Structure formats: structure tokens, C-alpha cells
Structure 1
Amino acid sequence: MPRRLASVAVVLGLTTAGMALTVGTAEAASYNSACGSGYSVIDSMDVGEGNTFLTYNSSTGYNCVVTVSDTPGTAAYLDARLRLHSTSTSWPAGTVDYGSYKYYAGPVYVYAKNACIDWGGAAASNYTRVNYNDHCG
């Protein structure tokens, strides 16, 4: 009987220790529906201390991008950007939203039915480098 109690104590101790290790880990941000109704996530990327989501509304032909913080409620640099595919390094006015935000940057929209787009974002300490990708649809 004492041996069984010792085994239970060890299992409980390991379980508690495992829970303590997982409590402090940051959870990746999930899409917050900021683009509005009818938009579905078609791609996403980790951009540092947040995630950038590319969405599409098949009824309207518009894409939308939003970057969501991993630490909601805490002001941090966030960046969301979206444009028709270009070889230029500049982003036209209205296709970028960046600044110090507590929850998310964006949404930014572009009509891109049957077209290629460039999209991306940055979060917190990753502000010096915007990660971006392209998507054709």
C-alpha cells in the first residue's frame, strides 16, 4: 500500500510540474474576424510576436490582411499590408496599416479576383523586417 501511494504522489508531482511549464508559454494569435463577414482565412504566417492572416471573400473578390498580436492588450508595433502583385519595393497608399496597436493592425483590402497579390506583416520586435509572401487565385 505505501508503494502505491508513493507512485500516485510521483505521478501527481510530474503532472503538476508539466502544467507549471506550460502555463507561461505564449499562445499564437488566431484570426479575429476583423475583415468582416464572408471572409475566410486562406493563408497565414508567424511574423514574430503575432500572426498575419490573408483572407478572401469569394462573393466580392476582395482579399483582406490583418496582423494579430500574440499579447492582446499590450501595445506593440504591428504591421499589415496587401497589394496587387508588383515588382516595386514600395507599397501604395491604403495598402499598409502599421503602428503601435494593442490588438491588431489592419484590415487592409484589395480587389484581386483571379489576380496575384503580395501580402505580409510584422509584429513587435520583428518590426525592422516585414515578412511577406505572394498568393495567386
Structure 2
Amino acid sequence: MRYARSVLSAAALAALTVGTTAALTAPASAAPNTTPQKVCGSAYKTVNSAPVGSLGTVYLTYNASTGKNCVATIRNNPGTAVSMSAWIYVPDTEEYHEDAGQFTSYAGPTDVYGKGHCVDWGGNIKNVYVQVTGSNCGALKENRVTFTR
């Protein structure tokens, strides 16, 4: 009887361990635990975004206390490092910043002073590129382009 109880206890412990491991392991298709605020900073609020095909999203954020805009490109399904970028440009001041390279989850942050200025921004994941020009300019209509290379 004592032997049977030990075997059952060991089996229950093994099942619990497997169940806990399975519960704590995220599936490969899980969304990233990343937000534009985690990339740019908690004071930045999302003011615009553009999908990068089905691969992720480029976010434009703004910090009202500093007057800075920040861009982050975030993948829907993080994994093996792929070509990614996040960029922003202020035509009035010709200030341009970019973060580009091989990343597993996101590109960025990249920021510029943009208070009172139109901004152009965008990014890419793999071979899908997004470019938004004339953005956040009040009455001026922005132009969005998505293309693959």
C-alpha cells in the first residue's frame, strides 16, 4: 500500500509539473508583451498607427510634456530576428532618426521634437514597408503607402 501511494504521488507530481510547464509556456503565435509605451516610455500616448501587412504595427506616439514624437514598430509574433525598422522625420527642421537592424520583437524607440510640426514616419518588418507622410498636421490630409520589396 505504501508503495502504491508513492507511485501515485510521483505520478501526480509529474502531471502537475507538466501541466504547470505547459501553462507557463506561451505558444509560438502568442502576441508580444510589448506596447508602444514600453518601447517609447509611459509618458508617450499613441496618436497614430499603421499596420505592417499582417506582420505587426508601426506606432506614432507623442509626449505632451516634452513635445517629442516617438515611433516603434512591433511584431505580432516575435521570434527569430528579422529585418525591422522604425523611423521619423520632421520636414520643417529636417530632423531624422531611425532604428534599423535585425530584431526579434520590435524596432525603436526613435524620437524627434515634433510639437507644432507635421511628421513623416514609418517602418518595416521583413519585406513589408509602411510610410506615412504629412501626419498629425491638423487639417492636412496624411498620405499612407504600404509596399513590399
Q: Contact 1:39/1:55 (CA < 8 Å) preserved in 2?
A: yes
Q: Structure 1 stretches of 5 or more lacking a match?
A: 1-22
Q: Secondary structure at the match of 2:127?
A: helix
Q: Secondary structure at the match of 1:97?
A: strand
TM-score (norm 1): 0.67
Q: CA deviation at 1:62?
A: 0.3
Partner of 1:125: 127
**In 2, distance between residues paired with 1:46 and 1:26?**
18
Q: CA deviation at 1:130?
A: 4.2
- Look up the equivalent residue of 1:114 and give its one-letter code: G
Are residue 70 (structure 1) and residue 79 (structure 2) matched? Answer: no
| Change beyond 3 A, Cα 1:80–1:109 | same
Amino-acid identity (%): 39
From 36, 40, 52, the equivalent of 1:35 is: 40
Are residue 61 (structure 1) and residue 63 (structure 2) matched? Answer: no
Partner of 2:101: 99
Deviations 1:46-97 (A, max 9, x none): 11312100000011100000000122132111110001026x8xx84xx111
CA RMSD in angstroms comes to 2.8
- Look up the equivalent residue of 1:106 and give its one-letter code: G
From 80, 88, 94, the equivalent of 1:82 is: 88
Larger radius of gyration: 2
Partner of 1:18: none
| Change beyond 3 A, Cα 1:24–1:100 | closer
Q: Structure 2 stretches of 5 or more lacking a match?
A: 1-26, 139-149
**In 1, distance between residues paired with 2:107 and 2:124?**
9
Higher relative contact order by CA 8 Å / sep ≥ 6: 1 or 2?
A: 1
- Look up the equivalent residue of 1:134 and give its one-letter code: G
Count of residues paired in the alignment: 108
Q: Which runs of 4+ in 1 moved over 4 A?
A: 23-30
Q: Secondary structure at the match of 1:37?
A: coil
